[in-house]
Amino acid sequence: MICFFQRSIKKTIVIEGIGLHTGNKTKIKLIPAKENTGIIFIKDGVEIPANIDYAKRFDFSTTLEKDGKVINTVEHLLSALYLTGIDNVYIEIIGDEIPILDGSAHLFIKHIKSAGIKSLREEKIYAVLKEEMLVKDEDKYIYGKPSEEIIFTYHADYNNNIIGNRKFSYKPNEKESFNSVANARTYCFIEEVNYLKNLGLAKGGSLENAVVFDGDKVLNPDGLRYEDEPVRHKVLDLIGDLYLLGYPLWADIYSYKGGHRLNAEFVRNIKENGAVELLYASEVLDKNNILTKIAV
Ligand SMILES: [Zn+2]
């Protein structure tokens, strides 16, 4: 969401659930924070900023680690915070993984909205991409370029009919775009399930929190929320991982078959190359002549 002022939440939110990969019960507490705090996870008293510097593992989800404290599967919660325009919050975790809930960002957003969003006094800061950036891994790539508007696109190219070759773009100025990304659930193929479980992953996975495909068939009794739900979910993952830059990225991003590892490499490259400039919302808007559709 494009906002003028920084945001936090009005009151503490407690969310319980199970971890997708660990299968363990887990609980998080979102605590209001003041201007310029950023998004800070807290585990056993250790503060871990939601920043690429602490992103350590990318096997089917994104993991943060600092001083031996590990937090798994942060990306959907980070997406929910990005989508609701929240820049400042403490997230205390009791457990080792963020709850998977329904596998999308929808329920996090519901909790955030029911607690209330608080507009703070400082202007929001955007990380505006200054130059083109490309990261590649075989045929997969993520390409970013400076842009007047924010666009995050995912292009899937699967050799099957159900996902196939499709693209989906998120543009924060378009209201519909918000829900269409937020509601998209994580997914996997039935043949991956055993493989993941052998790796000690997806222990908490079920039809309650993931879409499972068997070839071109959807095993979930209620089917898909959108015909292109998997591609939309990839956009959701991309949004969450890009938020590890520490600021919302202002750019046109195109991911062709990217995943968590490539997303993280992209963010790391931006940071290492100083490819963004930090600008206040008013400066970004002036620069791009944007006058409307800004949430306060
Ligand atoms: Zn995901």
Q: How far is the CA of 79 from the centre of ligand 1 (A)?
A: 9
260 catalytic, yes or no?
yes
Of 76, 106, 233, 260, catalytic: 260
CB 146 within 8 A of CB 277: no
**CA nearest to 245, candidates 181, 152, 154:** 152
Whole-prediction pTM value? 0.95
Q: How far is the CA of 44 from the centre of ligand 1 (A)?
A: 25
45-56 per-position pLDDT tens digit: 999 999 999 999
Quote the strand ranges of 39-149, DSSP E: 39-43, 46-49, 55-57, 63-66, 69-71, 89-94, 117-123, 125-129, 133-137, 140-145
Q: Is residue 282 part of a domain?
A: yes
Q: Could you tell me how many residues make up the chain?
A: 296
Q: How far is the CA of 9 from the centre of ligand 1 (A)?
A: 23
> Can you tell me the mean pLDDT for 10-26?
94
Residues with CB under 5 A from ligand 1 (ion): 186, 237
Q: How far is the CA of 161 from the centre of ligand 1 (A)?
A: 21
The number of domains in the chain is: 2
CB 235 within 8 A of CB 114: no
Radius of gyration from C-alpha coordinates of the chain: 18
pLDDT band of residue 295 (cuts 50, 70, 90) is low
Helix or strand run (H / E) with residue 112: helix 106-115
Point out the domain boundary residue: 124, 145, 174: 124
Q: Is residue 293 part of a domain?
A: no
Same domain, 276 and 142: yes
88-146 per-position pLDDT tens digit: 999 999 998 999 999 999 999 999 999 999 999 999 999 999 999 999 999 999 999 99
pLDDT band of residue 176 (cuts 50, 70, 90) is low
Amino acid letter, residue 228? D
Average predicted confidence (pLDDT) for the chain: 92
pLDDT given for residue 236 in this prediction: 97
Point out the domain boundary residue: 89, 124, 159: 124
Q: How far is the CA of 121 from the centre of ligand 1 (A)?
A: 32
pLDDT at 203 over 90: no
The rounded distance, in Å, linking the Cα atoms of 42 and 218 is 37
Q: Is residue 69 part of a domain?
A: yes
Phi and psi dihedrals of 84, rounded to 5? Answer: -95, 5
User: What CATH number is given to the structural domain containing 25?
Assistant: 3.30.230.20
Q: How far is the CA of 45 from the centre of ligand 1 (A)?
A: 27
Q: Is residue 37 part of a domain?
A: yes
pLDDT at 11 over 80: yes
Strand partners, 256: 141, 155
Range of lowest pLDDT (10-24, 69-83, 113-127, 185-199): 185-199
- Angle at which helices 75-83 and 175-182 cross, to 10°: 160
Same domain, 117 and 231: no
Range of the domain at 55: 5-124
Q: Which residues fall within 8 angstroms of residue 33, CB to CB, at 6 or more apart?
A: 8, 40, 88, 89, 90
Residue 218 burial (C-beta neighbours within 10 Å; 0-12, 13-18, 19+): middle
269-281 per-position pLDDT tens digit: 999 999 999 999 9
**CA nearest to 252, candidates 154, 170, 150, 131:** 150
